[in-house]
Amino acid sequence: MPTPPSDPGLLILISLAAGPKHGHAMMLDITDFGGVRLGPGTLYGAITRLEAGGLIAPMAGSGRRRPYRLTRAGRTHLGKRLSALDQSVQTGLARVTAR
């Protein structure tokens, strides 16, 4: 299972969970909370897949910027992914501290 810092799709979903954002705002937010700087190709590759999967949706934007929002399906998907990750993290931490 991919860990959050290496999964651009998950990072984008986490970023959009705080509210709609356009590409550059997502990039800055992800660098802020994830410590990862996504390249422009990686960012838009992930946006393409997430939109195709119905997890995010474009909104009407101003000028050439197009903000994206998390869909209901995207929020559910994000919740499930984070719960699964949390379970793995808790198990891992428990095993590490037990030794």
Report the distance separating Cα 96 and Cα 99, nearest Å: 6
How deeply is 55 buried, as exposed, middle or buried, from its count of CB atoms within 10 A (0-12, 13-18, 19+)? buried
Q: Which stretch binds other proteins (CB under 8 A): 47-55, 69-77, 81-89, 91-99?
A: 47-55
Q: Tell which positions 24-43 bind other proteins, by CB under 8 A.
A: 24, 27, 39-43
Q: Which stretch binds other proteins (CB under 8 A): 10-18, 23-31, 72-80, 83-91?
A: 23-31
Q: Are 10 and 83 in contact (CB under 8 A)?
A: no
Give the one residue of 1, 35, 52, 60 binding other proteins; rule: CB under 8 A.
52
Q: Are 69 and 20 in contact (CB under 8 A)?
A: yes
Interacting residues toward other proteins by CB under 8 A: 22-24, 27, 39-45, 47-49, 51-52, 54, 63-66
